[in-house]
């Protein structure tokens, strides 16, 4: 901190020398008019000034170690409100500024002296900003008694919204400068949000195009296979007059057409997720679990299975339809692929700083490690379906969709989250997925 302070003083001395070489006064007349303007109150420390009551109140955090300068600036805002109720809160250093923000929240604007006892006023430019690329910090105006073009350019390049020298003619216009800076800041914030929303839409479009290519691949390959079988069997029936053989061929035709029907139905259901409107509402987790229990009641009785909800989160704002389908798919998987005498699935939800974390744990057969990387892919779903002799399965009966885990991943991503799984063969699986709070609200 001492080295930093010495550096700032050295920088100011260099600027003062430049001004002296040019014949400019060091303090731009600051000392001459201060006493005249302030009168007997020049030595009074200004803590807070509030103008007439108004619904359009703006909070200013003034970081100024000079009591006379602080009192003057507070008086200027009090006498020149610009139709805005300004509330000026004064602190003397960066440390006090950070403590004030931590206690009271972010002000509308920070006005900071360039040279402060514990550092440089520009250090406050990133105060309250986030690390995710969204510019939601606090606008900053730098003020100084030692004005120079070099310092002004340095302040603006470092992120300050404006630079004001401590000259009476400049300080008198400070309320108007503050109002203009707040308007410009609002435009910057709105532009940044629009840019982030555009990037988000572009990412969604890229994901959709990849999924569309995969669906087209499925259509071009997997739909051709049952059609080829049907055409071949029909040709055999035409040439074969044996009724017993004919019945066998007709059953094969029926099975192939059923597989093709279910494949088309699965593609439609997966495709709809990308176009369905996401409607957010307050969702009670207990109600969702009870709805799933009612839907799969027959499966629970037959498998002697149980579903547990262990969650401190009672409700959250999200898509009821999407959350119910995600949990239903994961719960049914955990019960069907389970060889225990008493299968169970435990659902947990944990509220974190930025999102909700869901965990769906079962005591089923588990998933082989070589399969984990592709468990949410359409290609793995198709391979598994073919290995089980078609698209009609017990899972599909209970959740009304053959889309399974790929559909879960697509729904979770539509809600702005991610999904993954941890599993050990023979020890069950735990599926995790997140729902961001900023998307849920």
- SS3 of 401, please? coil
In three state form, how does the secondary structure of 51-111 look?
A: CCCCCCEEEEEEECCCHHHHHHHHHHHHHCCCCCEEEEEEECCHHHHHHHHHHHCCCCEEE
88 domain residue, yes or no: yes
Mean pLDDT of 349-368: 93
Residue 303, pLDDT score:
92
DSSP one-letter string for 146-170: S--HHHHHHHHHTT-SEEEES-HHH
260 domain residue, yes or no: no
d(CA 226, CA 67): 86
Q: What CATH number is given to the structural domain containing 367?
A: 3.30.565.10
pLDDT beyond 60 at 37: no
Residue 145's H or E segment, with its range, is none
Q: Same structural domain for residues 178 and 286?
A: no
Q: Same structural domain for residues 295 and 176?
A: no
Q: Same structural domain for residues 9 and 152?
A: yes
More confidently predicted of 220 and 202: 202
pLDDT beyond 70 at 43: no
pLDDT beyond 60 at 391: no
Residue with tokens 């063969």: 425
Q: Is the alpha carbon torsion for 179, 185, 187, 189 positive or negative?
A: negative
Residue 216, pLDDT score:
63
d(CA 183, CA 142): 17
216 domain residue, yes or no: no
Q: Same structural domain for residues 180 and 293?
A: no
- Provide the 8-state DSSP code for 429: E
Give rounded-to-5 percent helix, strand, coil for the chain. Answer: 55, 20, 25
Among the candidates 149, 171, 193, a domain finishes at 193
| Contact criterion met (CB below 8 Å) for 325 and 407 | yes
Q: Which domain holds residue 385?
A: 276-441
Q: Same structural domain for residues 188 and 300?
A: no
Highest average pLDDT, of 6-15, 39-48, 182-191, comes from: 182-191
Q: Same structural domain for residues 314 and 427?
A: yes
Strands (E), 135-243: 140-144, 162-165
Query: What is the pLDDT confidence band of residue 343, given thresholds at 50, 70 and 90?
Result: very high
More confidently predicted of 195 and 55: 195
257 domain residue, yes or no: no
Query: What is the pLDDT confidence band of residue 269, given thresholds at 50, 70 and 90?
Result: low
Q: Same structural domain for residues 291 and 407?
A: yes
Residue with tokens 């600027």: 15
Residue with tokens 């339809």: 321
Beta bridge partners of residue 89, listed in sequence order:
48, 61
Q: What is the pLDDT of residues 277-302, one digit of tens each?
A: 778 899 999 999 999 998 888 889 99
Distances (CA, A) of 75 to 293, 389, 393: 67, 83, 78
Residue 422, pLDDT score:
95
Taking alpha carbons only, the member of 140, 136, 176 closest to residue 161 is 140
Tokens of 9: 């003083």
Residue 421, pLDDT score:
95
Residue 78, pLDDT score:
85
Q: Same structural domain for residues 187 and 280?
A: no
Among the candidates 164, 193, 222, a domain finishes at 193
Query: What is the pLDDT confidence band of residue 25, given thresholds at 50, 70 and 90?
Result: very low
pLDDT beyond 90 at 63: yes
Q: What is the pLDDT of residues 158-211, one digit of tens each?
A: 888 898 888 888 888 898 999 899 999 989 889 988 998 888 888 878 877 777
Give the range among 8-17, 22-31, 213-222, 404-413 with minimum mean pLDDT.
22-31
Residue 345, pLDDT score:
97
Query: What is the pLDDT confidence band of residue 54, given thresholds at 50, 70 and 90?
Result: very low
Give the range among 215-219, 296-300, 333-337 with minimum mean pLDDT.
215-219
Residue 23, pLDDT score:
44
Round the average pLDDT of the chain to a whole number and report it.
77
383 domain residue, yes or no: yes
Q: What percent of the chain has pLDDT over 90?
A: 26
Give the range among 18-32, 49-63, 156-170, 267-281 with minimum mean pLDDT.
18-32
Q: How many CB atoms lie within 10 A of CB 146?
A: 21
286 domain residue, yes or no: yes
Q: Same structural domain for residues 295 and 163?
A: no
d(CA 74, CA 95): 21
373 domain residue, yes or no: yes
Q: What is the pLDDT of residues 107-161, one digit of tens each?
A: 999 999 988 998 888 888 766 544 443 346 889 999 987 767 788 888 888 888 8
386 domain residue, yes or no: yes
Residue with tokens 């799984």: 421
Q: Same structural domain for residues 38 and 157?
A: yes
Q: What is the pLDDT of residues 393-431, one digit of tens each?
A: 444 444 434 457 888 898 899 899 999 999 989 899 999
Q: What CATH number is given to the structural domain containing 79?
A: 3.40.50.2300
Q: Same structural domain for residues 176 and 292?
A: no
Q: What's the Rg (C-alpha) of the chain?
A: 34
Highest average pLDDT, of 178-192, 232-246, 248-262, 390-404, comes from: 178-192
Strands 306-311 and 344-351: parallel
Residue 240, pLDDT score:
66
Q: Same structural domain for residues 156 and 43?
A: yes
What is the biggest distance separating any 2 CA atoms in the chain, rounded to whole angstroms? Answer: 119
Q: How many CB atoms lie within 10 A of CB 58?
A: 21
Tokens of 264: 């088309």
Residues 6+ apart with CB under 8 A from 47: 89, 90
| Total domains present in the chain | 2
| Contact criterion met (CB below 8 Å) for 406 and 383 | no
Among the candidates 139, 167, 193, a domain finishes at 193
Residue 41, pLDDT score:
44
Q: What percent of the chain has pLDDT over 70?
A: 68
């Amino acid at each position: 901190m001492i080295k930093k302070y010495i550096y700032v003083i050295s920088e100011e001395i260099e600027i003062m020398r430049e001004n002296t070489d040019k014949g400019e006064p060091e303090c731009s007349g600051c000392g001459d008019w201060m006493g005249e303007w302030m009168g007997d109150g020049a030595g009074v420390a200004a803590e807070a000034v509030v103008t007439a009551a108004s619904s359009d109140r703006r909070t200013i955090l003034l970081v100024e170690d000079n009591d006379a300068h602080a009192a003057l600036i507070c008086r200027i805002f009090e006498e020149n409100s610009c139709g805005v109720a300004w509330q000026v809160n004064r602190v003397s250093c960066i440390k006090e500024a950070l403590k004030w923000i931590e206690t009271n929240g972010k002000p509308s604007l920070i006005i900071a002296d360039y040279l402060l006892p514990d550092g440089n006023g520009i250090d406050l430019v990133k105060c309250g900003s986030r690390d995710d690329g969204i510019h939601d910090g606090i606008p900053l105006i730098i003020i100084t008694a030692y004005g120079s073009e070099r310092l002004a350019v340095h302040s603006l390049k470092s992120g300050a919204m404006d630079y004001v020298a401590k000259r009476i003619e400049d300080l008198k216009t400070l309320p108007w400068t503050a109002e203009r800076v707040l308007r410009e800041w609002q435009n910057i914030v709105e532009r940044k949000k629009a840019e982030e929303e555009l990037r988000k839409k572009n990412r969604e479009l890229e994901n959709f195009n990849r999924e569309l290519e995969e669906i087209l691949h499925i259509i071009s390959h997997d739909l051709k296979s049952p059609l080829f079988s049907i055409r071949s069997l029909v040709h055999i029936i035409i040439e074969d007059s044996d009724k017993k053989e004919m019945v066998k061929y007709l059953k094969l035709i029926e099975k192939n057409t059923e597989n093709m029907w279910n494949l088309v139905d699965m593609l439609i259901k997966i495709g709809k997720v990308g176009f369905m409107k996401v409607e957010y509402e307050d969702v009670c987790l207990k109600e969702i679990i009870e709805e799933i229990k009612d839907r799969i009641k027959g499966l629970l009785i037959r498998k002697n299975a149980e579903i547990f909800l262990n969650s401190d989160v009672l409700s959250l704002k999200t898509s009821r339809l999407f959350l119910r389908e995600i949990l239903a798919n994961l719960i049914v998987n955990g019960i069907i692929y389970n060889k225990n005498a008493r299968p169970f699935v435990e659902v947990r939800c944990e509220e974190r700083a930025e999102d909700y974390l869901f965990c769906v744990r079962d005591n089923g057969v588990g998933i082989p490690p070589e399969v984990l990387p592709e468990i949410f892919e359409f290609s793995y779903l198709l391979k598994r379906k073919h290995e089980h002799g078609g698209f009609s399965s017990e899972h599909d009966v209970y959740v009304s969709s053959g889309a399974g885990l790929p559909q879960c991943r697509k729904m979770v991503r539509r809600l702005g989250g991610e999904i993954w799984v941890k599993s050990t063969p023979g020890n069950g699986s735990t599926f995790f997925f997140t729902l961001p709070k900023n998307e849920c609200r």
